[in-house]
Structure 1
Amino acid sequence: MSSHITNGSKAPLVPTNNVTTLAGVTVRTRIDPALTVEDVVKQLVIQLGVRLEPDETPLHYALRDDTDELVTNENLRRKIKNKVNLKLVNAPAKEAREIAEKLRRRQDKNMRLILYSLQKYIREEQFANEFLKYGGLAELVAAIDEATGNTLAYALTAMQNLMELQYGWSTLDSAFILRVVQILSSPQSPINVCRPATAILKKLVEADPMSAASPAIPSSSRGPPIPPPGSVYRYGFGVVFEQMRKERGFLETVVNRLGSAEMVMAQYSMMLINALLTHVSDERWDEFIGELERLNVRKAVVRLMNIPDIEDVTSGILDFQANIVRVTHRKKTTAVDPGADASHALALKIIWEKSRMDEEVDEQGHILKWRKLGFENENMSYEFRDVGVLGLECLRRFVETATDFAVLVLEQSSRPFEKRCPIGRASNEVVELLSEHWAIFAPGYSTSTTFQPFFLDFQKVHSLATHFFIRMWGESGAVLADFPRISALVRSQIKVALRIENVRPWRDVEADFNCEYQLVRDRQMQELEREDDLLSKVPVRNLRAKLYKESYEFVRQQRIQCLLQGAWFVIGVSPGSPQRDPTRRPHRPWRFMRLDNGLKYLHYVDSAVKFPVRNGLEDLPDRIDVSMISEIGKNTCAPPPNVLRDSADVPGSAPSLSPLSFSLLSAHEGSLADLIAPDTSRWADWTDGLNMLRRDGGHVTSSETADFVQALTEIGLKIKLLDLSGEMVEIPNNLVAGPPPMNTDYFFSDLSG
């Protein structure tokens, strides 16, 4: 059977599309691409003699393809041109009402099939709107509360897909969140259940009022803004964490899954941990970070780094490193206050007790305690002013792991005052040197493109480097005035010991920190011939940190600007994807992609040839939701045959992966796009730009971008220093503030004249 559907102005042509009716009858028909989907459906209903119920019209029906994708005005022409098989089915609104009604009758024996259909259709806005309007959300929540096995997996996936909308799920309550937490807390939960459950919690964590795209209602207090009525941005870390605390084993189970043999389980667990780290609230920061540290999450991630073939979790590991940079920076900038914080007082108490020293009173009647451990005065808040809680934690770890700490302190105290190594100052200086090495300059900025297992074990490296500092002090016969010289020596050795840490074993690091003084000094002298000692001074370090932040933000804006301008890519071929003819050029191998000004969608068009694309989005009919992108995969696809001139694949063999390829990966839909950039610069622009655009991102993908940030920082630093070095201005290591005024009878002089 065949028919034709035209606008009446043209003669009928040969049928090119197969259309299957509700009764299972397949007809071949020619569809005029100039028509709207509504007109096509009307003519099909009439020509095929579809029996309508008394309250039905042709608008109650729609078209789908073999993959159940809804045919819309935007994709109708493409499906006609590609001769896609079509199906005449219930319209999304009608289908939504029927599924919601079936869910209401939860005793239906076909519940699993109903939820299976729901998870597919609920991504469509027409379907979702009607489903929500008909009370479907409450029925879906009830199904999640009661279902098990595959039925539960389908229900959770349906909820996950619904939550891709920016509306409609603001009524999810704490009982629902607790149910999802309980599902994930069970070690027996299978992957197909854990995957959507993890994605749901991640979405709830990210849906905090501070992340709302539209302005929220200002709060009358100093708390977070209040979301407007109906907004889904009313959850966030605090709401989710409150339910997490009710399941004591929840976080431990999630961390343990990082070591799962199922890489998908590890990948999703990493995604959730990163979301929690990114959005942790100030009120719960200490509690949550403390719990993660107790569970040794860093050690679990380091173990994950050593597993071969972990491309699926590489992006998550780099995100985790970027989050730990933020955690480390916050600790470093959190003041030590033993009078107000019991944990700070406890740490100081442990340090002092481990020293086995006794308090004394000097000639002026002042208590002599912390100065015996190498600090400059007895005010611990002041002593840790530059390294904060990070410095306190590192010193405590050093003291607790050094079996001979009391002997070490006693040995130093037995020496003349000028020759004693100030252990407390040395520990804090090593914290500063390691922070400089790993660029712990500001929250949200990380340009590491490789794994950093030693950074994730910051305190262990600190202990090793502090022992090295003390040993170099003794072997060189240093006095207190030599502190900057020993610091420069340790700084130089840190660079050597921690180089290319993604491939170096720990034993090599230990060996480098066990070198003899003369060998270290000789190598340092060679370095000093090439490097100005000025760069090691504390004020210059602080200046570098400020310039680093500015350089990173500049590069970030530049990368996003490239996305807004758009670019042409080759559509890649994923490994294992079927090819009709391995030697035949694909019909439309080119794709132009551009980010919209709202930074929400990547609009694109596929074409047989590259053509001049106008400004705006008129030439780009299709789009990808940026919020759907959970990861940017690298080296993921190969060029199609006969498209790129430099493709050197042997005919008949499997195509090799392109180093310029990347994929936009979704947490639950797989790859949204497989693309190959025209050159290294374009590849770096887009992979890093997309990573910097992601709400849960923060790491850099390419060495080109990382080197760019570093180069801008160093150039800016040298330009700033030219004004000082050219005038031979001496830069002190620190500035000593004078005494405060005795009274308020003073004013600031106007020096503008």
Structure 2
Amino acid sequence: MPGWEGQKPQPRTSRRHWSPPTASPHSKASPFRTRIDPALTVDEVVRQLVNSPTLRLTGPSLITNENLRKKIKNRINLKLVNSPAQEAREIAAKLKHRHHDKSVRLALTLFSLQKYMKEEPFSKEFLECNGLDELLSVIDEVTGNALAYALTAIQNLMERPFGWSSLSSSFILRVVQILSSSTSPINVCRPATAILKKLVEAEPSTSADVYRYGFGVVFEQMRKERGFLETVVGRLGSADTAMAQYSMNLINAMLTHFIHELERLNVRKAVIRLMSLAEIEELTSCILDFQANIVNVTIKKKDTLVDPDADATHALAMKLEEEYDEHGQVLKWRKLGFETEEIPYEFRDTGLLGLECLRSFVEMDSDFSMLMLEQLSRPAEKRCPIAKASGEVVELLLAHWAAFAPGYSTTTTFQPFFLEFQKVHSLATHFFVRMWAESGAAVSEDFGRVSDLVRSQIKASLKNEHVRQWHEVEKDFNSEYQRVRDRQMLELELEDKILTKVPVRNLRAKLYKESYEFVKQQRIQCLLQGAWFVNAIPVDAPPPRHPGRRPHRPWRFMRLDNTHKYLHFVDSAVKFPVRNGLEDLPDRIDVSMISEIVTGTSFTPPNVLRDSSDLPAAPMSNVPSPRSFSLLSAHEGSLSDMIAPDESRWADWTDGLNMLRRDGGHVSSKETASFVHALTEIGLKIKLLDLSAEINDLPDGLTAGPPPLNQDFFFSEIISG
């Protein structure tokens, strides 16, 4: 029954009706042709074809009121099958009486269930028939492919904000047990991983009943299975790219809760290995999300005040012998280069991050005792303040990686050395100590001069880190003083020294955040206006028997609605003026279904005009278009494959859609990153115009002094003017 649309709708009385008196929906019937008015609803079409409320139309996918018009235009063959409600009742009944069925038949039932669960009418009826409870019982009983189908059905159900608020703790434990076992098949682990990620992200909320889980609920079951995290991290090295991607997404969801445990398992090294793979297009987005999450974790540590009783403090103190100065006061932390013995005060600027980096520096250096003896053997004015140098390097590295605005990452490249923050810190701190000695620094005023040298070296050594090897960085940090100094002098000719001052760096951080928000709103406005794209052919396009992925109409206009929940679109043979609103856009994509936006994934189809000026059609290339992008779903593959008309439109949409994602924290285009950078620098220069003529005397910061020793003090009143 191929769909067909004439030039003019025919009168209803002239349509051919088909009503076999005895044929069931499962009978093998001969195909026939008929006219279907696309203005009708699906139910009305079915009533005209067969007077039965238990049937529905289907094709390669479910036919709905929203996509009926499109399917008819594309001349898709349609079939009459059981209605979603009828299918749901039958499958729920089969699950209930599964013990009377052969295991093969149960597996076939579950295979159908995972597909039907994507359909909202089916899932609602399935829940009404108590099908979910039966499905959860099945999950406790089956293994292998049957278990994979059952878990995928749950995964598909959880794509909607209803119907899964009754998942029990025993079910969550079952999923955790599956993921904790290193022998669980990959096809079982994939949906199990996706389910657990969804549960972790379902923090309690009033927006929907299903948001009642969150990390705390899931953690109660995780703690019952030893080795859970180790196994999940280990799957990052899976040869199955989808499995690595699912695991990466789960780790991103748990990262802020499990940071210490994941750090202990060297999750950063596992991600760095993924970065080094030659072909990781599918993993790029989740790796950049992980990178942005690590930025947030790093800044949170920097902002966390140091507790004098913290374990890290005690571990560091064990490396230092306590002595007394000439006044009989304890001399321990001052030996390391601090100004006082008050640990919280000394780490006031770098927080817990500074403490952990200093501890790592001490523990990674097997000759640290010799280094301390060397410094203590020198006159007091010639000693390098190692602890102070360590804190300075922390701030220099944060400034280099622009890691001063948590949640606002515009990097479009991998930063493997940022994930090795403590390792780079240790290398740069040793370089600081060496530059102090080789430059003959002897007084406190020289600290800033040496700091400038180190900043210059960090910039040079870590440039283009995504293509550099670690041994190259180590070699750079072994450069001699005179070589570093000569390069620095060349840099100073092009750079105003004021830009490196702490107050200016803080101002830049504030402006960076404001610039990011401005560009984000601009990108989303572009989505709200809408744009035309070419319907592309994906690299992994299926054979012709699956026509859904091959574009029947070359052009697609897409627009985001005002709620930011749906992308509405229309496919057309030619471009036409699209009115404001959504009346001209009959189809839509749920934004929440978009798990990833990947780029460079599709070919330009043949016989598509290059632009609206009607230039000759371009032949199909065997190289994916650099302006192509695909909207991927976690379990349905690509929702849309498109090619933007120009670089600007490509940047607007790929970055705008990434910024809409709940778990997105990165941008895809260098254009967006350069816009944020340019706005930040322009704003900074404008702000600096307000400074006085004595700009070179801008201090690096204000010293508040040590805190009072007791409470015998008061604040004086400040009288203005």
**TM-score range for the pair, normalised by the shorter chain length:** over 0.9
1:259–1:300 Cα contact (<8 Å) kept? yes
For residues 558 and 748 of structure 1, the distance between their equivalents in structure 2, rounded to whole angstroms, comes to: 44
Does 1:158 find its partner at 2:177?
no
For residues 153 and 27 of structure 2, the distance between their equivalents in structure 1, rounded to whole angstroms, comes to: 28
2:469 to 483, 505, 508: 505
Tell me the SS of whatever aligns to 1:203: helix
Does 1:59 find its partner at 2:50?
no
Q: Hey, what does 1:623 align to over in structure 2?
A: 588
For residues 126 and 400 of structure 1, the distance between their equivalents in structure 2, rounded to whole angstroms, comes to: 61
Deviation of 1:9 after TM superposition, in Å, equals 2.6
For residues 413 and 634 of structure 1, the distance between their equivalents in structure 2, rounded to whole angstroms, comes to: 57
For residues 58 and 450 of structure 2, the distance between their equivalents in structure 1, rounded to whole angstroms, comes to: 73
Does 1:662 find its partner at 2:656?
no
Over 3 Å counting, the alpha-carbon distance change for 1:419 and 1:732 in structure 2 is same
Tell me the SS of whatever aligns to 1:672: strand
Per-residue displacement from partner, 1:165-211 (whole Å, max 9, x unpaired)?
A: 101111112111110111111111122111111111111111112xx
Mapping 1:553-592, distance limit 5 Å:
553-577=517-541, 587-592=552-557
For residues 73 and 736 of structure 1, the distance between their equivalents in structure 2, rounded to whole angstroms, comes to: 68
Over 3 Å counting, the alpha-carbon distance change for 1:387 and 1:649 in structure 2 is farther
Deviation of 1:722 after TM superposition, in Å, equals 1.1
Q: Hey, what does 1:90 align to over in structure 2?
A: 82
Root-mean-square deviation (CA), in Å?
2.7
For residues 420 and 238 of structure 1, the distance between their equivalents in structure 2, rounded to whole angstroms, comes to: 49
For residues 161 and 77 of structure 1, the distance between their equivalents in structure 2, rounded to whole angstroms, comes to: 25
Over 3 Å counting, the alpha-carbon distance change for 1:648 and 1:452 in structure 2 is farther
1:649–1:656 Cα contact (<8 Å) kept? no
Tell me the SS of whatever aligns to 1:603: strand
Give structure 2 stretches of 5+ with no counterpart: none
Tell me the SS of whatever aligns to 1:551: helix
Q: Hey, what does 2:261 align to over in structure 1?
A: 291
Deviation of 1:26 after TM superposition, in Å, equals 2.2
2:242 to 264, 269, 274: 264
In percent, how many aligned pairs have the same letter?
67
Does 1:523 find its partner at 2:487?
yes
For residues 443 and 589 of structure 1, the distance between their equivalents in structure 2, rounded to whole angstroms, comes to: 41
Q: Hey, what does 1:318 align to over in structure 2?
A: 288
Does 1:413 find its partner at 2:408?
no
For residues 515 and 185 of structure 1, the distance between their equivalents in structure 2, rounded to whole angstroms, comes to: 47
Q: Give the stretch that moved more between structures: 506-515 or 107-116.
A: 107-116
2:3–2:77 Cα contact (<8 Å) kept? no
Over 3 Å counting, the alpha-carbon distance change for 1:140 and 1:702 in structure 2 is same
Counterpart code for 2:717: F
Q: Hey, what does 1:118 align to over in structure 2?
A: 113
Q: Hey, what does 1:361 align to over in structure 2?
A: 325
For residues 325 and 296 of structure 1, the distance between their equivalents in structure 2, rounded to whole angstroms, comes to: 17
1:607 to 559, 569, 572: 572
Q: Hey, what does 2:73 align to over in structure 1?
A: 81
Q: Hey, what does 1:380 align to over in structure 2?
A: 343
For residues 438 and 3 of structure 1, the distance between their equivalents in structure 2, rounded to whole angstroms, comes to: 57
Q: Hey, what does 2:27 align to over in structure 1?
A: 23
Per-residue displacement from partner, 1:546-578 (whole Å, max 9, x unpaired)?
A: 111111122122212211111111111112426
2:3–2:73 Cα contact (<8 Å) kept? no
Deviation of 1:725 after TM superposition, in Å, equals 4.6
Mapping 1:624-663, distance limit 5 Å:
624-645=589-610, 655-663=622-630
Does 1:207 find its partner at 2:202?
yes
Q: Hey, what does 1:40 align to over in structure 2?
A: 45
2:162–2:209 Cα contact (<8 Å) kept? yes
Deviation of 1:724 after TM superposition, in Å, equals 0.5
2:658 to 676, 679, 691: 691
Over 3 Å counting, the alpha-carbon distance change for 1:407 and 1:90 in structure 2 is same
Q: Hey, what does 1:275 align to over in structure 2?
A: 253
Deviation of 1:84 after TM superposition, in Å, equals 1.9
Mapping 1:415-454, distance limit 5 Å:
415-454=378-417
1:591–1:605 Cα contact (<8 Å) kept? yes
For residues 119 and 10 of structure 2, the distance between their equivalents in structure 1, rounded to whole angstroms, comes to: 32
Q: Hey, what does 1:331 align to over in structure 2?
A: 301
Q: Hey, what does 2:213 align to over in structure 1?
A: 235
1:705 to 667, 672, 682: 672
Tell me the SS of whatever aligns to 1:375: coil
Tell me the SS of whatever aligns to 2:691: helix
For residues 7 and 591 of structure 1, the distance between their equivalents in structure 2, rounded to whole angstroms, comes to: 25
Mapping 1:99-248, distance limit 5 Å:
99-107=91-99, 108-109=101-102, 110-209=105-204, 212=205, 216=206, 231-248=209-226
For residues 7 and 644 of structure 1, the distance between their equivalents in structure 2, rounded to whole angstroms, comes to: 30
Q: Give the stretch that moved more between structures: 555-564 or 75-84.
A: 75-84
For residues 553 and 307 of structure 2, the distance between their equivalents in structure 1, rounded to whole angstroms, comes to: 64
Mapping 1:533-544, distance limit 5 Å:
533-544=497-508
Counterpart code for 1:249: G
Give structure 1 stretches of 5+ with no counterpart: 47-57, 217-226
For residues 17 and 674 of structure 2, the distance between their equivalents in structure 1, rounded to whole angstroms, comes to: 57
Does 1:463 find its partner at 2:453?
no
Does 1:404 find its partner at 2:396?
no
Counterpart code for 1:25: A
2:645 to 678, 689, 699: 678
Per-residue displacement from partner, 1:140-161 (whole Å, max 9, x unpaired)?
A: 1111111111100110010000
1:633–1:663 Cα contact (<8 Å) kept? yes
Per-residue displacement from partner, 1:510-531 (whole Å, max 9, x unpaired)?
A: 1110111001001101111111
Deviation of 1:731 after TM superposition, in Å, equals 1.5
Q: Give the stretch that moved more between structures: 726-735 or 197-206.
A: 726-735
1:198–1:272 Cα contact (<8 Å) kept? yes
Over 3 Å counting, the alpha-carbon distance change for 1:3 and 1:135 in structure 2 is closer
Counterpart code for 1:712: L
Counterpart code for 2:315: A
Over 3 Å counting, the alpha-carbon distance change for 1:586 and 1:443 in structure 2 is closer
Counterpart code for 2:507: L
How many residues matched? Answer: 701
Per-residue displacement from partner, 1:392-418 (whole Å, max 9, x unpaired)?
A: 111111111112111111111111111
2:566–2:588 Cα contact (<8 Å) kept? yes
Tell me the SS of whatever aligns to 1:27: coil
For residues 232 and 639 of structure 2, the distance between their equivalents in structure 1, rounded to whole angstroms, comes to: 27
For residues 2 and 407 of structure 1, the distance between their equivalents in structure 2, rounded to whole angstroms, comes to: 84
Deviation of 1:59 after TM superposition, in Å, equals 1.7
Deviation of 1:2 after TM superposition, in Å, equals 12
Deviation of 1:742 after TM superposition, in Å, equals 5.8
1:473–1:486 Cα contact (<8 Å) kept? yes
Deviation of 1:743 after TM superposition, in Å, equals 4.4
TM-score, length of structure 1 as denominator length: 0.89
For residues 397 and 30 of structure 1, the distance between their equivalents in structure 2, rounded to whole angstroms, comes to: 75
For residues 80 and 656 of structure 2, the distance between their equivalents in structure 1, rounded to whole angstroms, comes to: 41
1:494 to 451, 458, 467: 458
Q: Hey, what does 2:441 align to over in structure 1?
A: 478
Does 1:252 find its partner at 2:230?
yes
Over 3 Å counting, the alpha-carbon distance change for 1:186 and 1:305 in structure 2 is same
Deviation of 1:241 after TM superposition, in Å, equals 1.9
Q: Give the stretch that moved more between structures: 637-646 or 495-504.
A: 637-646
2:411–2:673 Cα contact (<8 Å) kept? yes
Deviation of 1:7 after TM superposition, in Å, equals 9.2
